[in-house]
């Protein structure tokens, strides 16, 4: 089982190192036979090779079992012509990673919510308002004169159908409800197409309830009635905004996992950014990337029918819960006192002390 490890920028190398320690622990406990192939991307790769995402690394993606991607500082990259490629966007478009899956579950003493949150946001990942990834040739933003700017939004039936199918399949494993979030009252054509495809997919899942909600109301409902949601499916930018809101409401953006999936490819990536202001200080919270790695193991376990990988994911999740449930066992960003290394050590101790599954 080979994983491509791309630490990224800022705090990326630190939280990636912590994540690899956790994966190495479950590997030893369960004989997963994990292999890690690590390569520099981002600013480090730009200095050494002239590109933030060298072509030879990109070509390895569909030759391995999964990808672990650290956060990147793409705002600081030069133009693409000078080697500044956003690795996250490149992966999503090149390999058609149509679904970004982000679970959000509130933790009682960290959340600001009055009612509990336990939901999954499934965000379309390859088109929408994101102008860097929705054209075959050329940018989707342009200026006919210096005081006028246009941006093209792309919505396709294929991508909408694929992300809807992912959402309904997830809902079948959870509480059998999907909420389609849209703005079809204004974006009548593009969001109308998105809703058409969601409704068509819904017909194939009669056991799952479909709710439709305008994005403004959804943003408010995440605060007022978070417990009414199970799986949310939406377009790219709406999903980006709502998932950040949901994660912060549930406790912190640093506490939720995230994977981007396509046909046969899964990329695990932290929900948050590269935080260059604290890079190298050993204070970063690695929880998001660790939980993303757990999601990757679960995806691989389901793909291959491998109970060991599913067990490993469950053990990581349980260890994270055990450590975070103790206020003093948290990193400083969520009210604790531990640095990155100390938090990782607590997690590994929890993993090693956890009893195995019943025989």
Contacts 24+ apart (CB under 8 A), 307-315: 308/30, 308/31, 308/32, 309/1, 309/32, 311/30, 311/357, 312/26, 312/27, 312/29, 312/30, 312/32, 315/26, 315/29, 315/30, 315/351, 315/354
Helix axes 12-30, 307-324, angle to 10 degrees: 120
In angstroms, what CA-CA distances link 303 with 102, 169, 253, 264, 286?
19, 14, 28, 8, 26
Active site residues: 130, 183, 216, 240, 244
The CA distance from 252 to 33, in Å, is: 33
Question: DSSP E strands: which ranges in 184-280?
Answer: 209-214, 231-234, 259-261, 266-269
CA angle 40, 96, 290 (to 5 degrees): 50
The CA distance from 289 to 208, in Å, is: 30
Bridge partners of residue 83, in order along the sequence: none
Q: How many separate helices (H) and strands (E) can be counted in the chain?
A: 11, 12
């Amino acid at each position: 089982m080979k994983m491509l490890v791309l630490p990224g920028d800022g705090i990326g190398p630190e939280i990636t190192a912590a994540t690899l320690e956790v994966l190495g622990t479950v590997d030893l406990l369960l004989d997963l036979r994990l292999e890690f192939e690590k390569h520099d991307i981002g600013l480090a790769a730009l200095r050494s090779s002239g590109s933030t995402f060298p072509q030879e690394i990109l070509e390895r993606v569909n030759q391995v079992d999964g990808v672990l991607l650290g956060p990147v500082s793409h705002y600081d990259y030069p133009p693409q012509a000078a080697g500044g490629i956003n690795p996250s966007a490149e992966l999503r478009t090149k390999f058609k990673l149509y679904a970004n899956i982000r679970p959000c579950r509130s933790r009682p003493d960290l959340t600001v919510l009055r009612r509990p949150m336990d939901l999954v946001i499934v965000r379309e990942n390859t088109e929408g308002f994101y102008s860097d990834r929705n054209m075959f040739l050329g940018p989707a933003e342009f200026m006919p004169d210096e005081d006028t700017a246009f941006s093209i939004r792309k919505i396709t039936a294929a991508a909408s159908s694929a992300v809807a199918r992912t959402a309904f399949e997830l809902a079948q494993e959870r509480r059998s409800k999907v909420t389609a979030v849209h703005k079809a009252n204004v974006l009548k054509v593009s969001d109308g197409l998105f809703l058409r495809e969601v409704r068509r997919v819904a017909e194939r899942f009669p056991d799952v309830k479909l709710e439709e909600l305008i994005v403004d109301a959804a943003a408010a409902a995440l605060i007022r009635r978070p417990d009414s949601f199970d799986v949310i499916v939406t377009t790219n930018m709406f999903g980006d905004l709502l998932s950040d809101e949901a994660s912060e409401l549930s406790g912190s953006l640093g506490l939720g996992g995230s994977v981007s999936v396509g046909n046969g490819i899964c990329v695990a990536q932290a929900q948050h950014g590269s935080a260059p202001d604290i890079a190298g200080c050993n204070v970063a919270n690695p929880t998001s990337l660790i939980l993303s790695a757990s999601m990757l193991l679960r995806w691989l376990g389901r793909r291959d029918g491998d109970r060991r990988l599913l067990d490993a994911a469950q053990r990581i999740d349980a260890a994270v819960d055990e450590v975070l449930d103790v206020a003093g066992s948290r990193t400083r960003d969520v009210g604790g006192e531990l640095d990155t290394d100390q938090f990782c050590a607590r997690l590994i101790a929890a993993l090693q002390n956890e009893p195995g599954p019943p025989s």
